[in-house]
Structure 1
Amino acid sequence: MEIKHHTTGDDGIFYIDEQGERLGDMRYMLVNNTEMDIYHTEVDAAYEGKSLGKQLIEAGINYARQKHFKIIPSCTFAKSVLTGNDQFKDVLA
């Protein structure tokens, strides 16, 4: 499994691809020059419970840290991951 990243303008997506099949994705948009809003995370039902959603959120967190962005977690799942762990406080908006 590989996590890939694609951007178009202010919109971005991290997705897990396995042999051409998309297993899940996490979508975000840049709100301004310093914040990104993670607004959707989804994993194929066949792969739920395998931490793929968390891996996608963590890929977004790593990207935010590299770009010095703060994250607005409007996605319920992203919010639960980010607010439930002290190691992610540095990226919360």
Structure 2
Amino acid sequence: MKIEQVNESNKGYFKAIDTNTKAGLMTYSWAGTDKIIIDHTEVNPDFKGQNVGKNMVLEAVAFARKSNIKILPLCPFAKSVFDKNPDLHDVLF
């Protein structure tokens, strides 16, 4: 499975793709230049239980660490991933 990121001036998303099929999508908005707000996560029902959503959150964490930015997870799913994984708290806003 491959996760692609599209980052536009004030919005962006991470898209999980498996063999040319969209497995999931997680959207975010920029809040200034040093923070993104994850606002929505969806997973294709065919990929349920395969950690697609979690892997997109982990990709966002890697992006935040590399870019020295913070994440505010307003999406309930993304927030649950952060709640269950204290090792990700370094990027929380």
Q: CA deviation at 1:67?
A: 0.8
**Aligned equivalent of 1:82:** 82
Q: CA deviation at 1:46?
A: 1.1
- 2:89 and 2:56 map into 1 onto residues whose CA distance is 17
**Aligned equivalent of 1:60:** 60
- 1:42 and 1:35 map into 2 onto residues whose CA distance is 21
**Aligned equivalent of 2:31:** 31
**Aligned equivalent of 2:5:** 5
Look up the equivalent residue of 2:61 and give its one-letter code. Answer: I
TM-score by length of 2: 0.94
3-state DSSP of counterpart to 2:17? strand
- 1:66 and 1:29 map into 2 onto residues whose CA distance is 18
Q: CA deviation at 1:69?
A: 0.9
Aligned residue pair count: 93
TM-score by length of 1: 0.94
3-state DSSP of counterpart to 2:12? strand
| Identity score, percent | 32
3-state DSSP of counterpart to 1:49? coil
3-state DSSP of counterpart to 1:90? helix
* Runs of 5+ unmatched residues, structure 1: none
- 1:61 and 1:38 map into 2 onto residues whose CA distance is 11
